[in-house]
């Protein structure tokens, strides 16, 4: 009778045997970076590879998502192993796509490869006959929240509602038959050691702001104009003044940019555009900070007698890495890299749509090393292919075995007494509730 530990060793052995194939897949995706909701080549490769190993799957979920299914010997919960397909625009990256500027500067190519590696090994080892429930290898689109103008156009055309991949998948019901989710993200940060996890990450809302003033001759008749740039300046100053009211515990981040500051120097700016995120540790904290930011934005319009149009879009929800699920990931990551090379960090102030998943089921986003340079930077490179592609695959596969072995006692243990912060319906209603455009007339 095969033991659980023997099965884990067998699966890791297969990942090593298939190492060259997996590294080739990872490098192929790295060399053909695609932006979110346009990851057609990476999705096709994922789909083709699942087909070659006989794993049934669905394609074109939320445009480019691919979802496979491995069935265990007995009924039980469903674990999704998630890999993100997308790259992002990073100017100056040596492997950037010439036409789109997209580059794999966040290491998502490794995630997709690791999910395939884990799936291949589970299939070839005959693992599912020893496991209960289902394992879902899931390639998902558009984690990076960018390319916003194009996505808003897609939303207007009815092809998207939310601008991130996992929110769209949740909207379409593709997480309805999933009970828990695991993702491993590549890291280049030395403080992350070789593997680790945070306890939580910030969530955010995304805002686009348009100040409308009145253009006029800047030299001869500025008194006839309404300066939209000064209205925006007053708003930015007010936001900065509000920072002292943000509590450290809430980890608020507001980082506006001016995307249109005026068009011609001898004209009083009649239109100015801003974009910002409002990030925070909890939904309540984001809401409170967002209300203050709105007040500051109106204040700029009021002072100058300008108009302001404030559009608030759903961003990503705060991430809570489920402690129970985390402990299974930790045990298997430590088994690979050593206990002294694993770190548990506290709260991180970036955002990811794994946060959205964590609002409706136990979820974990772990980190593993093997990259160098700066995340989202032109110097971000994969330097340890074995750790990045094969190591992540091993940790995914062995954690899955721990959770689903026998009667899936591990997964049942994670789910016991678990109550999701939100139901899927509550999640969707909440996100839809964020989406609004306010028009404020400061001259009224």
Stretch of 103-111, 170-178, 300-308, 358-366 lying at the interface with Zn ion (CB under 5 A):
103-111
Shorter beta-carbon distance to Zn ion: residue 106 or 169: 106
The answer to whether residues 113 and 45 touch, using CB atoms and an 8 Å cutoff, is no
Interacting positions 150-179 with Zn ion (CB under 5 A): none
Q: How far apart are CA 123 and CA 14, in angstroms?
A: 10
Shorter beta-carbon distance to Zn ion: residue 354 or 360: 354
What own/partner pairs with CB < 8 Å and gap ≥ 24 does 89-94 have?
89/35, 89/146, 89/147, 90/376, 90/377, 90/378, 90/380, 91/378, 92/378, 93/377, 93/378, 93/380, 94/378
Least distance (Å) between residue 202 CB and Zn ion: 14
How many residues belong to the chain? 444
Strand partners, 111: none
Least distance (Å) between residue 354 CB and Zn ion: 9
Least distance (Å) between residue 86 CB and Zn ion: 8
Least distance (Å) between residue 185 CB and Zn ion: 6
Instruction: Give yes or no for residue 23 binding Zn ion (CB under 5 A).
Output: no
Shorter beta-carbon distance to Zn ion: residue 25 or 106: 106
Residue closest to 435 by CA, chosen among 353, 293, 315: 315
Distances (CA, A) of 329 to 320, 400, 411: 15, 9, 12
Shorter beta-carbon distance to Zn ion: residue 3 or 374: 374
Shorter beta-carbon distance to Zn ion: residue 11 or 85: 85
Least distance (Å) between residue 88 CB and Zn ion: 6
Residue nearest to Zn ion as judged by C-beta position: 106
Least distance (Å) between residue 81 CB and Zn ion: 16
Give the interface size with Zn ion as a residue count (CB under 5 A): 1
Contact with Zn ion (CB under 5 A) among 106, 116, 234, 414: 106
Instruction: Give yes or no for residue 354 binding Zn ion (CB under 5 A).
Output: no
Stretch of 99-107, 146-154, 364-372, 430-438 lying at the interface with Zn ion (CB under 5 A):
99-107
Shorter beta-carbon distance to Zn ion: residue 133 or 164: 164
Distances (CA, A) of 122 to 60, 113, 208, 285, 367: 24, 14, 45, 42, 22
Q: How far apart are CA 282 and CA 252, in angstroms?
A: 9
Shorter beta-carbon distance to Zn ion: residue 32 or 109: 109
Shorter beta-carbon distance to Zn ion: residue 87 or 226: 87
Stretch of 41-49, 101-109, 235-243, 355-363 lying at the interface with Zn ion (CB under 5 A):
101-109
Least distance (Å) between residue 84 CB and Zn ion: 6
Residue closest to 119 by CA, chosen among 195, 274, 11, 212: 11
Instruction: Give yes or no for residue 204 binding Zn ion (CB under 5 A).
Output: no
Distances (CA, A) of 146 to 36, 112, 149, 151, 392: 8, 20, 8, 8, 26
Least distance (Å) between residue 345 CB and Zn ion: 16
Residue 136, SS3 per DSSP: strand
Q: For the chain, first and last CA: distance in Å?
A: 80
Q: Which parts of this chain interact with Zn ion (CB under 5 A)? A: 106
């Amino acid at each position: 009778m095969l033991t659980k530990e023997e099965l884990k060793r067998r699966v890791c052995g297969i990942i090593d045997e298939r190492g060259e194939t997996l590294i080739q897949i990872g490098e192929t995706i790295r060399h053909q970076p695609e932006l979110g909701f346009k990851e057609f080549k990476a999705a096709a490769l994922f789909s083709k590879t699942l087909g070659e190993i006989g794993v049934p799957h669905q394609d074109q979920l939320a445009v480019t998502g691919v979802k496979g299914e491995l069935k265990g010997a007995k009924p039980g919960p469903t674990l999704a192993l998630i890999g993100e397909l997308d790259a992002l625009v990073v100017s100056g990256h040596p492997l950037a796509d010439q036409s789109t500027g997209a580059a794999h500067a966040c290491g998502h190519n490794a995630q997709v490869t690791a999910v395939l590696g884990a799936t291949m090994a589970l299939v070839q080892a005959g693992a599912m006959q020893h496991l209960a429930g289902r394992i879902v290898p899931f390639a998902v689109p558009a984690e990076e929240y960018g390319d916003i103008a194009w996505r808003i156009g897609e939303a207007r055309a009815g092809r998207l509602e939310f601008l991130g991949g996992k929110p769209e998948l949740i909207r379409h019901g593709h997480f309805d038959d999933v009970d828990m989710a695991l993702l491993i993200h590549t890291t280049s940060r030395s403080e992350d050691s070789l593997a680790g996890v945070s306890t939580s990450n910030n969530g955010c809302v995304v805002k686009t702001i348009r100040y409308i003033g009145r253009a006029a001759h800047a030299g001869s008749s500025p008194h006839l104009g309404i300066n939209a740039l000064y209205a925006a300046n007053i708003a930015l100053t007010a936001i900065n003044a509000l920072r002292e009211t943000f509590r450290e515990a809430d980890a608020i981040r507001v980082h506006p940019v001016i995307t249109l500051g005026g068009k011609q120097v001898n004209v009083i700016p009649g239109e100015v555009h801003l974009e910002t995120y409002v990030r925070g540790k909890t939904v309540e904290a984001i809401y409170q900070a967002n209300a203050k930011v709105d007040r500051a934005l109106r204040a700029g319009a009021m002072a100058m007698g300008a108009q302001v149009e404030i559009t608030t879009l759903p961003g990503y929800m705060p991430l809570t890495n489920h402690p129970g699920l985390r402990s299974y990931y930790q045990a298997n990551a430590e088994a690979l890299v050593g206990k002294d090379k694993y770190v548990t960090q506290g709260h991180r102030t970036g955002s990811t749509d794994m946060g959205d998943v964590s609002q409706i089921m136990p979820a974990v986003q772990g980190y593993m090393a093997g990259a160098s340079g700066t995340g989202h930077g032109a110097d971000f490179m994969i330097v340890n292919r074995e750790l990045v592609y094969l190591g992540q695959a091993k940790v995914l596969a062995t954690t899955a075995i721990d959770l689903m072995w026998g009667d899936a006692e591990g997964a049942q243990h994670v789910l016991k007494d678990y109550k999701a912060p939100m139901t899927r319906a509550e999640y969707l209603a909440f996100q839809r509730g964020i989406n609004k455009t306010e028009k404020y007339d400061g001259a009224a």
